[in-house]
Amino acid sequence: MKRSFLELLQSMGAVHRLCTIPILALALMAAIGAASAAKADETCMSPYMAKITGQEDFVYVWTLGVEGLGDASDKLVTVDVRPGSSTYGQVIDSVSVGGRHEAHHAGFTDDRRYLWATGLDTSKIFIFDVHSDPARPRLVMEIDDFVSKSGGVVGPHTSYAMPGRMIITGLSNDRDHSGRTALVEYSNSGTYIATHWMPTADQTRGTKIEGVADGYGYDLRVLPRKNVMLTSSFTGWSNYMMDFGQMLGDGEAMKRFGQTVTVWDMHARTPKKVLHVPGAPLELRFALGPNHNYAFTTTALTSKIWLIYEDDAGEWQAQAVADIGDASKVPLPVDISLSSDDKLLWVDTFMDGKARLFDVSDPFHPKQIYEKVISTQVNMVSQSWDGKRLYFTSSLLANWDKKGDDNNQYIKAYNWDGKELKEQFAIDFTKEKLGRPHIMRFGAYALYAAITTDTSTAMTE
Amino acid sequence: MWKSVRIFPRAGSPVGLSMLLPVLLVVWSAAVSAHSPPAFFRELQYIPPQPGSYDLPVIQMAVDGPVIDTDGKSHRLFDYMGRTFVLLSFVYTSCTDAKGCPLATHVLRQVASYIEAHAGIAEHLRIVTLSFDPDRDTPEVMRQYAGEDGHRYMRFLTTSSAANLQPILDGYGQYIVPERDEDGWFTGFYSHILKVFLIDPDRQVRNIYSVSYLYPQIIINDVKTLIMERGG
């Protein structure tokens, strides 16, 4: 299946088509390009990253190994999502990394040639080559000295593409395994660059503090045109590696959750302001509109949507703007995904297994307009750029997933027609002896000028 | 041990006659892309951090390789580094994408103008542009691309072959994708992620700029920050 680059490569200000066509034609093409925008790819990714504008070919699923299941190791699982493919909706590849590391999040480098996948327990980072053969990623590098190189950061979480480098958010530290942590930078080649510790009350680093400064970390997103970087806050190793039921009964442990979103000077990597967002704000998603200076996050423990926005005076603020379900029942909102037009926000709530859709066209007044039970538990959600395809996985953390019959482990694909989700396929990761699926990332041949193996001849001069 | 040769004129020294001679065969598209602000170019929406208020840690070591100048003379890329800070960009002269090479060239020419007007910077910063299309970007084409006011602080280079070029691209992580048509033929077009590298006199990469923060103000502040770091 071959496509032109004009259709398949579109930038978020990063990838450029270089050509020798006349200026008038270029102007026309630019106008068309601006009007059509991108048609696919996952929303909410780094704006520095190469982008798929056609149908994604694969979903890479970073999966936790389960003792006694298959090879029991964490692994990168590749699912074929090409419509019409003879293996559509099937696992076509699996690369074990050996051992269980609490596989969690993963992110591509800016050129999208490599996928960095992290382990929250062992603090290892696994780097996969996804460009040589997008259908069969290869493990090409392991970073096993993250803790020592970073000066004690534990629990690498988000891997976020910046030009020529990656920023890794930590969740914890090796001194007390609390949530006090830092951001760690690496070059794309895997060389350690720097550590930027989160501001705390006793080490403010000149940061304006609104309420508290816990020094915790979790997710990271940037808004380059405003030179703003945001980080959220979760909890430390001592909590995320503890049994969920045990932790809920531990009063001291329950006090050790993040309650901040930090606003950074992106270019200088210096914290500017700590916003008070109680209840463990997790995923951050910046709006994409050229004049939309805001981001969403949700708080796991208090079940709210928060808006992080720039006010009329140019000051960044945080405001709770909606409840997610009945907070008293702790639905536990986990992953969120914002549509590319900034109008719809999908929110997964782990405990009731629901995908909830909010109309956020007025970001200060989100309204839930749809919900569907995906399974007994649901965690991550990824949507295509056109909003028509959504993928869900089940696992939160190895020790926090439900037990017994409720412990369904899967990836499910749905089509969204504007009214309801219609299931396209589901893969039982327990039955397939794979493990607990967590984050998903999209792959495509088109990014690398490669071709699919079942429809094309070699593309050589 | 490598010893740099003087490839650029000293700040304040007379400009060479060849630099002042009008180029007779200026390619129209090159002239347009080089001198007009690309449509994509927008003013910076924030005040960049003050020089010296932040760090720019080493990202990686710069990479050397054989290159050719606009007179067809062979050099090493390191010949252009080691004395000053260097902004290194990779372009393709046929590029007309407003977010691509024309943007980079436009911004770097603005930086060159700043260098020209500020003696304090002039002794510290030079600009090198290397083509990643050696088949078409010959020394003559690069001379045309440089334009008649090809800046005294800028150098436009190419390579003699893809074999010589590729290790340089690999070393800087500058990935390019040749576009192919439905029949698999190379169309002559490329896609790439625009990157400009700020390299210090120790040949260490200290920042990498992409479209969203390729602004003269940011670049100049970064250079000033690094000058201050070295006690300047």
Beta carbons of A18 and B182 less than 8 Å apart:
no
Residue written as token pair 């932040």: B54
The chain A residue lying nearest B46, using CA atoms, is A226
Residue of chain A nearest B173, judged by CA positions: A164
* Residue A228, min C-alpha distance to chain B (Å): 10
Weakest mean pLDDT among A285-299, A300-314, B166-180: B166-180
Q: What is the CATH number of domain B56-229?
A: 3.40.30.10
Name which of A175-184, A330-339, B17-26, B127-136 the model is least confident about. B17-26
Best mutation site among A7, A10, A15, A16 for testing chain B: the one with the most B CBs within 10 Å? Answer: A16
Q: What is the pLDDT of residue B13?
A: 52
Domain boundaries, chain B: 56-229
Interface test with B, best of A8, A18, A460 (most B CBs within 10 A): A18
Count of A-B CB contacts under 8 Å: 152
Residues in chain A with CB shorter than 8 Å from the CB of B192 are 15-16, 18
As given in the structure block, the two tokens for residue B108 are 């770097």
Q: How many CA atoms lie within 13 A of A319 on its CB side?
A: 12
Task: Check if the beta carbon of residue A212 is closer than 8 Å to that of residue A259.
Answer: yes
pLDDT at B31 over 80: no
Residue B13 distance to chain A (closest CA, Å) = 35
Work out the percent of chain A whose per-residue pLDDT is above 90.
Answer: 84
pLDDT of residue B188: 80
| Cα B176 to chain centroid, rounded | 16
Residue A137 Cα to chain centre, angstroms: 19
Contacts of A50 in chain B (CB under 8 A): 193
Rounded (10°) CA dihedral A3, A416, A110, B49: 130
Could you read off the pLDDT of A259-292 as tens digits, one per residue?
999 999 999 999 999 999 999 999 999 999 999 9
Q: For B179, which of A5, A48, A268 is closest by C-beta distance?
A: A5
- The amino acid that residue B44 corresponds to is L
Confidence of residue A207 (pLDDT cuts 50, 70, 90): very high
Of A2, A18, A188, which has the smallest distance from its Cβ to B100's Cβ? A18
Q: Residue A447: its chain B contacts at CB < 8 A? A: 177
- Chain B partners within 8 Å of A20 (Cβ): 29, 94, 96, 188-189
Residue of A nearest to B170 (CA): A189
Q: Exposure of A329 by Cβ count < 10 A (0-12 exposed, 13-18 middle, 19+ buried)?
A: exposed
Query: What tokens were used for A160?
Result: 């976020």
Quote the ipTM score: 0.87
Structure confidence at residue A51 (pLDDT): 77
- Looking at residue A42, its pLDDT comes to 76
Average pLDDT (B153-164) is 96
CA gap A333, A354 in Å, rounded:
9
How large is the average pLDDT for residues B33-38? 48
Lowest mean pLDDT among A228-237, A305-314, B143-152, B222-231: B143-152
Q: Which residue has the higher pLDDT, B116 or A258?
A: A258
**CB proximity B96 to A under 8 Å:** yes
Among the listed residues A29, A86, A59, the one whose alpha carbon sits nearest the alpha carbon of residue A453: A86
Residue A50: its pLDDT value, please?
78
Residues of A in contact with B58 (CB under 8 A): 193
Instruction: Give A457's contacts in chain B (Cβ within 8 Å).
Output: 184
Provide, as residue numbers in chain A, all residues whose Cβ is less than 8 Å from the Cβ of B182.
2, 4
What mean pLDDT is predicted for residues A355-382? Answer: 98
Question: Is the predicted pLDDT of residue B29 greater than 90, yes or no?
Answer: no
pLDDT at B42: 66
End-to-end CA distance of chain A: 18
pLDDT recorded at residue B37: 54
Residue B184 in contact with partner chain A when CB distance is under 8 A = yes
Structure confidence at residue A45 (pLDDT): 83
- Helices marked H in A138-250 — which ranges? 146-150, 237-240, 244-248
Residue in chain A nearest B209 by alpha carbon? A163
- Interface contact A163-B208, CB threshold 8 A: yes
CB-nearest to A2 from B97, B182, B211 is B182
Q: Which two tokens stand for residue A34?
A: 């601006």
Determine whether the interchain pair B45/A225 forms a contact, defined as Cβ–Cβ distance below 8 Å: yes
pLDDT, tens digit, 9 for 90 and up, residues B48-88: 999 999 999 999 999 999 999 999 999 999 999 999 999 99
Would an 8 Å CB–CB cutoff place B43 in contact with chain A? no
* Chain B residues 113-152 with a CB less than 8 Å from chain A: none
